[in-house]
């Protein structure tokens, strides 16, 4: 089983950025921990701040991987193009968010990608990613 | 560890009701399977069609249980009173939905309870409940 | 043929409540008149102020009765849960209203249950119920 | 007793037009059947695609007939002028629709004429007209 | 003079629930204090989490009591049915709120019951109830 | 000087229709009175219930008359086509209304034709037409 | 007959201000011309930039004058207080505007005072005032 | 204890203005009655039609008085500046309204000043002021 | 191949009306040019200012012609009835507009007929019609 | 004559992606066919998933090419930056869409780029591109 | 060079009012500092809580001064009349705000005066005024 | 002191693009002028049409530079991702715009980045950048 975790814009700053919202540890150690925990799954990781590159990556992997776990960051609320990429590919995509976006600014309450994802997991910190991996088992 | 699963209105008809949306198996067998799988957790189950009884139950368990998993059904979108009950208690509440509510009618796109829950898991069928249990580990 | 008439909240006060809107006779004599007029139909009657009990009743009868005539009163405009109950059962449900709800407050102009009912009959006083019975013939 | 049934735009194509919504039989045979069934009532029929002619007809009959049964078709949602005609005349007007307009496009959910009609009957196929006739008895 | 105080959902948790908003004392001692202070008034108290039971109670007392003081809690913003119950009865109903609902979430800014109450008293803590009693003198 | 007064749908029923709003005298005697009062002006009158015929008339006279006085009735609020006709012609058009449309239903508060008219005169009963004639002097 | 013309904020700058919208002559000469033309009417004039003073003036004259002609300028769209003053007094108030406010910014399309005025005359330049005087004859 | 009652625009016309809404007695006798009833409180009174003068008064008294009772009249719904004045001072301000503003025009349903007041008392006629005085005890 | 071009209200004034928007040549010469250019196609032309007659024409030709090219003018934005006519017939209908309606007034931005047309061609002047003809080849 | 066709995000997947909407053939063969058909026109093609690269390309060609044909895909509905690029260059830009975007999700009904394009061609499948080429002749 | 700084309602309380938002120093010392710093500029200062007086001042200075720096306080969001005054005068007006109004209540996000000002400077504390002075150099 | 000026999409075309809005000189000469004027400040410049690269740049410099001056161009109104980048870094960011965005299209009236910037300077042409530099002194 091959699963790709994609993190969108500014999620390369986890552990540095707005710690009161996102916590104070960076994503890489957590990712390695997950790789160890789920040894039967080939877990890969990709991050980009560019909408276009996120789309490229979804297209590139979305016809062969068993699943994609996507935290589209700020693009969650504005990108029809990423939504279209998810619809275009055949791999199931699970949406995750670290924080509870419903308790934040109004414009974060709407996700353009939820309706084309298999499901959504929101608000469990880094655990959201773990539960997303679990969802593929 | 003691966790209560609460199902709201019409979820007693799972397996009978709108099978194209909710699937064709009832909740009880799945619940028993979960009890077996998570033997270290005391899993309980409660269902009611009454908003008032759901609130009563949340109040009754919400100061002593380790967690509540809540599928509030149709009350998700209309009940300020259930939201207030969740805010009032100290146990963390995880919101779950069987179907992807973002792909259904407009009025199902807004959840009044999301902002006061620990997190939300939406769209994985009965698996949403399993992932919610996992979220407490 | 077995048909259940369900009246929602405050409709137990017909004849007492806001007579300029609802008229000054209570529902029971009218119901008895209907039973006499339609002797070939088993007509039953249920009233409750509780959203939960209305759902219970719809679930209880909605798989065996030939039809349900529902005046959901104030819940017409607020209850996703009753809407879901109507969708869940197999008996056709006909929506009735005594007054012309389109001439009253703005929030009464939208019915959450209309889209899942077989049809709606609005504004004919108690005659709305008679026409609903006729609709099943 | 003299009752006029008025059908608005495109209802001359019943039986030909969008059969999945409106059924596959034309209106005339049904109308003749009604004339036979209600021999004590003088039933007349008028159809036009023109808003102006519908208003002319309502004005012409609306001070002498015992009732008008109006399916204003597409004008239901856009015509203040037809609404004003209904308000202007003294005969009671009953609004009917063949399909359940609440399950169709958003712009069909609002009827400009409901508030000035005696009542509305929606969603019973051609039976909507029969129930409207019944409402005058 | 006979006055009933009705508290809606979650107000049984006063003193326990969200103390920063509602204060840290429970309602019962305050109620007893009021009974002592207003010895010429028969003060009664009722609390329920159920919309239906609140309606039942309003109907039961609303034709004979001199006044009802109602804090409908979360139902304030969602219940057309409770509004209709208030309109249906003859006793004057005074709306009270402990906190200033205008400083809280947007959905708490609209009260469905205000327009049918005699008056509203908002934001004075438990004192809101005392002022409501005063309003009947 | 040649001026045409155009009355839209249902204004042929003035004196008969909703007398509390429009008064109890018909338009013709008033028109004759105006012809007598303004003998230096050739005053003409046209009424139709048909949007198309109103447009035809505006096109027919709108390049040669000195002014058009238009009470578009219900089409005021819905007709882009009449608005376009007014824009298309070269004669100045003055909008009039008998009643104060701002005190009536919400949908009567917006006039599609105001922005393309020379000016508007609203709420003076039949006097609105007289003031409109005055506006051309 | 005693009529007061009230001009609101910035209308003291007529002839100086935004000439493309308001023309290039000041109000005073026009006012004198009107006094001459309507010698049987006692015409008075008042201008202020202050909402409070406009209200004071309406109160002061609004129980004894035969009519008030009011161009409330920018307060037209924002002042509930001036609206209330108009409602409070017994003299009829006619609303006038020099320019066609419907062709200007969106916020100028709504007049808070129209619904409480006897009528409105909009878009005829200074002639709007003359027509308003005519409306009292 | 020193308390100032401030009445906003048009409230100097109480007893004269729209008696069906505001009653037929003027404010001064009532105020004197209150001064007699609450002899331990120094009660003062101020009325102005000017937004600016109301702000001046709030600033002038709002750092030394024990409380301000404010009926801002029409400014309630439009004045950010009065709201800011209330926020700026340290004396608690209680909002009162004579009529039930929720049953009147839509634009009266929103109070800009409620969120910065200690509390609101609405709909009890002149009694609203008495209850506001009581709220300071 | 048989194609009908239908022009709606005020398009008979092309070349005369608002030349800055619609250009200064009338439609007939252009139509003749098209007939010459596309000699293998039977091109017909119909214009009316009447919504009803446009519907009549669509019904009359819409079951036998190979295509209809429709510029519905002002009815584009307001006519549910024309939309229904297009849905009712079997011939494909192509929507055209001469000007770029997206750069004009807000109410011209929405087309009620686009969703039921085969396609739309907007903003190319008279060329829009030529491209529409090309679309049928 | 030199024309550039630009395809935005996910249009590299034509023939693979959502075939029910976009058809089952890829764009390249169609493009070659167009090059053959229009031998007098230098046709070029560019595709990118990146908003920035699309802007770069528009800037690069938009001062020297005779025309640009742009299907901006998902960016159509969200990109002010692409709109600004179109405004900034001097070459005319024609907007095309393969599917009828008015029959799809609400957020696809608004095009941010339409108002700055020369014209729009929507809903003709790949033929939309051919008609766009024709529009430059 | 002659520049007037105008401060609107409640800005006389700077240093006293809501210090967390506006800081704890009053405006006068800062103003004197500015006078010293910009000795080549005649700097004047005016403050009023009255909308009318602010308009008077703008009119009085707005045809002769080289610039006006305006912090309209709460009137920023509600005053069409001040906007009109700015449009009416010929001196350029620069809008300033001390706090970042976009981070405060929703109603503070819209400025009615921005569109008619030369420019806006927002969020730099008292420095906003200094930058505004700089903007005139 | 080290300050970076970032220009977003299409601002590389300044002096070429829409000169009536943005003026006819390019940015580079102005930037050099600023470098000369502020010799004590290390001024750098970056421009990109790509949202992702703008984010990369903000992240790269936003933890070490003393300030960032950002004109995000079209992304101002659509980019949550750039907003998040600004929130994530520690350097203060000042928003600038050349034109007065409040006088342009509606969608340009809302800035997603204002609330997370230190302040905003809008409408002073290239001078906006100079004032932004001044703001850091």
What is the CATH classification number for the domain harbouring C59? 3.40.50.9100
- Give the pLDDT score at D18: 79
Please report the DSSP string for J56-94 in residue order.
HHHHHHTTTSSEEEEE-GGGGGT-HHHHHHHHHSSS-EE
Residue G16: pLDDT over 90: no
Q: What is the pLDDT of residue D22?
A: 78
CA distance from start to end of chain J:
9
pLDDT digits (tens, 9 = 90+) for C65-108: 999 999 999 999 999 999 999 999 999 999 999 999 999 999 99
K80, closest residue in chain G (CA to CA):
G74
pLDDT at B110: 95
- The beta-carbon neighbor of J135 closest among I102, I111, I124 is I124
Dump pLDDT digits (tens) for F117-134: 999 999 999 999 999 999
Chain K to chain L, count of Cβ pairs less than 8 Å apart?
A: 67
Q: How many CB atoms lie within 10 A of CB F9?
A: 29
Token pair belonging to L115? 């609330």
**Interface contact flag, D80 F108, Cβ < 8 Å:** yes
Query: Helix H127-135 to helix E127-135 angle, to the nearest 10 degrees?
Result: 150
Which of L52, L87, L112 shows the shortest C-beta gap to A48? L52
Q: How confident is the model at residue A67 (pLDDT cuts 50, 70, 90)?
A: very high
CA–CA gap between residue E74 and residue L11 (Å, rounded): 51
Q: What value does the mean pLDDT take over residues H60-76?
A: 98
Q: For residue J20, is pLDDT > 90?
A: no
CA separation, residue J106 to residues A81, C27, E120 (Å) = 15, 45, 41
Looking up tokens 């349900």, which residue turns up?
C68
Q: Which whole number is the average pLDDT over G65-85?
A: 98
**Is G51's CB within 8 Å of K51's CB?**
yes
Sequential DSSP letters for C42-108: EEEEEE-S-HHHHHHHHHHHTTTSSEEEEE-GGGGGT-HHHHHHHHHSSS-EEEEESS-GGGS-GGG
Catalytic annotation present for D75: no
| Rounded Cα–Cα distance for residues J6 and J46 (Å) | 5
| Contact by Cβ (8 Å): G97, K104 | no
Chain C interface includes E114 (CB < 8 A): no
Residue I117 confidence (pLDDT) above 80: yes
Each residue of F61-105: pLDDT tens digit? 999 999 999 999 999 999 999 999 999 999 999 999 999 999 999
Which chains contact K through at least 3 pairs of Cβ atoms less than 8 Å apart? G, H, L
Asked if the Cβ–Cβ distance from B85 to E49 is below 8 Å, we say: yes
**The token pair that represents E78 in the structure block:** 């969602």
Q: What is the mean pLDDT of chain H?
A: 96
- Tell me whether chains K and H touch (3+ CB pairs under 8 A): yes
Mean of the per-residue pLDDT values of chain A = 96
Mean pLDDT of D61-78: 98
Contacts of G53 in chain K (CB under 8 A): 52
Q: K108 vs H79: CB contact, 8 Å cut-off?
A: no
Residue among H72, H61, H66, H65 at smallest CA distance from H96 = H72
Residues from chain I that touch D48, judged by Cβ atoms under 8 A, are 52
Cβ neighbors of D59 (< 8 A, separation 6 or more) are D85, D88, D89, F10, F12, F13, F49
The yes-or-no verdict on residue K22 having pLDDT over 80 is no
Of H109, H114, H124, the CB nearest to E135: H124
User: Using an 8 Å Cβ cutoff, are I106 and I7 in contact?
Assistant: no
pLDDT greater than 80 at residue C28? yes
Question: Which of helix, strand or coil describes residue E28?
Answer: helix
Q: In degrees, to the nearest 5, what angle opens at C-alpha F6 toward C-alphas G113 and F88?
A: 90
Sign of the C-alpha dihedral computed for residues A110, A116, A119 and A123 taken in this order: negative
Token pair for residue A119?
A: 């499901």
Please give the model's pTM, rounded to 2 decimal places.
0.95
Contact A119 B122 (CB under 8 A): yes
Specify the range with the lowest mean pLDDT, choosing from A89-103, C6-20, D85-99, G55-69.
C6-20
Lowest mean pLDDT segment, chosen from G8-17, G33-42, G109-118, I39-48? G8-17
The pLDDT value recorded for residue L23 is 79
Provide the CA L84 distance to its chain's centre, in angstroms.
16
Chain C meets chain A (3+ C-beta pairs below 8 A): no
Over 90: is that where the pLDDT of A22 sits? no
Give Cβ neighbours of residue K13 (< 8 Å, ≥ 6 apart): H59, H88
Nearest-CA residue of chain L relative to A14? L88
Residues of B in contact with E106 (CB under 8 A): none
Closest CA to J122 of I117, A82, I74: I117
**F83 touches F112 (CB < 8 A):** yes
Residue J113 has pLDDT above 80, yes or no: yes
pLDDT at H29 over 90: yes
Domain count, chain K: 1
Q: What percent of chain J has pLDDT over 90?
A: 91
Q: In this predicted complex, what is the ipTM?
A: 0.94
Q: What is the pLDDT of residue A23?
A: 79
Contacts of B111 in chain C (CB under 8 A): none
* Measured CA distances, B87 to A104, B80, B112, E51 (Å): 17, 10, 12, 19
Q: Which residue has the higher pLDDT, B19 or A64?
A: A64
Interface partners of chain F (CB pairs < 8 Å, 3 or more) are D, G, I
C22 included as an active-site residue: yes
Subunits with at least 3 CB pairs below 8 A relative to chain I? D, F, J
Spatial separation of the C-alpha atoms in residues L24 and L13, rounded to whole Å? 10
Is the per-residue pLDDT at C22 higher than 90? no
Counting beta carbons within 10 angstroms of the beta carbon of residue I27, is it exposed (0 to 12), middle (13 to 18) or buried (19 or more)?
Answer: buried
K88 in G contact zone (CB under 8 Å): yes
Single out the catalytic residue among K65, K75, K97, K129.
Answer: K97
Which residue of E9, E12, E77 is the best one to mutate when testing the B interface, meaning the one whose CB has the most B CBs within 10 A?
A: E9
pLDDT digits (tens, 9 = 90+) for E106-130: 999 999 999 999 999 999 999 999 9
> pLDDT: is B22 or D56 the higher one?
D56
Across the range H37-41, mean pLDDT stands at: 97
What mean pLDDT is predicted for residues D47-60? 98
Taking the Cβ of residue J127 and every Cβ of chain A, the question of whether any pair is shorter than 8 Å is answered with: no
Contact yes or no for G77 and K80 at CB 8 A = yes
Proportion of chain H in helix, strand, coil states, percent, rounded to 5: 45, 20, 35
**What is the separation of C-alpha K133 from the centre of its chain, rounded to a whole number of angstroms?**
11
Extract the tokens encoding J84: 């600004």
Helix (H, G, I), strand (E, B) or coil at I43: strand
Half-sphere exposure of B14 (CA within 13 A, CB side): 22
Task: State the pLDDT confidence band at D74, using cuts at 50, 70 and 90.
Answer: very high
Distance CA K31, CA K16 (A): 17
pLDDT at F15: 85
Q: Is the CB of D13 less than 8 angstroms away from the CB of I59?
A: yes
Which residues on adjacent β-strands are paired with residue B21?
A: none
Q: How far apart are CA E31 and CA E37, in angstroms?
A: 10
The pLDDT value recorded for residue B35 is 98
**Strand, coil or helix: I132:** helix
| Region I71-86 average pLDDT | 98
Q: Which two tokens stand for residue I44?
A: 């017909």
pLDDT computed for residue L80 by the predictor: 97
Q: Whose CA is closest to A136, among A34, A54, A27?
A: A34
CB of K63 less than 8 A from some CB of H: no
Taking each helix axis as running N to C, give the angle between helix F127-135 and helix G127-135, from 0 to 180 degrees, rounded to the nearest 10. 150
Per-residue model confidence (pLDDT) at position I24: 80
Residue ranges making up the domain that contains B7: 2-135
Helix, strand or coil, per DSSP, at residue A8: coil
Question: What's residue L65's pLDDT?
Answer: 98
Task: Assess whether pLDDT exceeds 90 at residue A10.
Answer: yes
Dist CA G93 CA G88 (whole Å): 11
Element of type H or E holding L60: helix L51-61
Q: Is the per-residue pLDDT at A68 higher than 90?
A: yes
Tell me if chain I has a CB within 8 Å of the CB of F84: yes
Instruction: Given the residues B65, B75, B97, B129, select the one marked as catalytic.
Output: B97
Q: How do residues D117-130 score in pLDDT, each as one tens digit?
A: 999 999 999 999 99
- pLDDT at F7 exceeding the cut of 90: yes
Which among F118, F120, F127 has CB closest to G135? F127
At A41-66, the pLDDT tens digits run 999 999 999 999 999 999 999 999 99
DSSP chain F: -EEEEEE-TTGGGTTTS-HHHH-SS-HHHHHHHHHHHTTTSEEEEEE-S-HHHHHHHHHHHTTTSSEEEEE-GGGGGT-HHHHHHHHHSSS-EEEEESS-GGGS-GGGS--SSGGGSSEEEESSTTHHHHHHHHHT-
- The H-or-E segment that residue L30 falls in is helix L27-37
**Chains F and I: how many Cβ contacts under 8 Å?**
59
User: Does chain I touch chain D (at least 3 C-beta pairs within 8 Å)?
Assistant: yes
What pLDDT is recorded for position D21?
80
pLDDT band for position B10 (50/70/90)?
Answer: very high
């Amino acid at each position: 089983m091959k699963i790709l975790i994609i993190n969108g814009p500014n999620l390369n700053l986890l552990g540095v950025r707005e710690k009161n919202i996102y916590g104070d540890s960076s994503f890489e150690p957590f990712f390695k921990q997950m790789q160890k925990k789920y040894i039967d799954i080939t877990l890969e990781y990709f991050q980009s701040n560019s909408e276009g590159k996120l789309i490229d990556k979804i297209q590139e992997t979305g016809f062969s991987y068993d699943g994609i776990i996507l935290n589209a960051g700020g693009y969650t609320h504005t990108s029809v193009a990423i939504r279209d990429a998810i619809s275009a590919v055949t791999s199931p995509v699970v949406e995750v968010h670290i924080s509870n976006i419903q308790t934040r600014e109004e414009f974060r309450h709407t996700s353009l990608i939820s309706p084309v994802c298999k499901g959504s997991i929101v608000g469990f910190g880094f655990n959201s990613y773990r539960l997303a991996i679990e969802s593929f088992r």
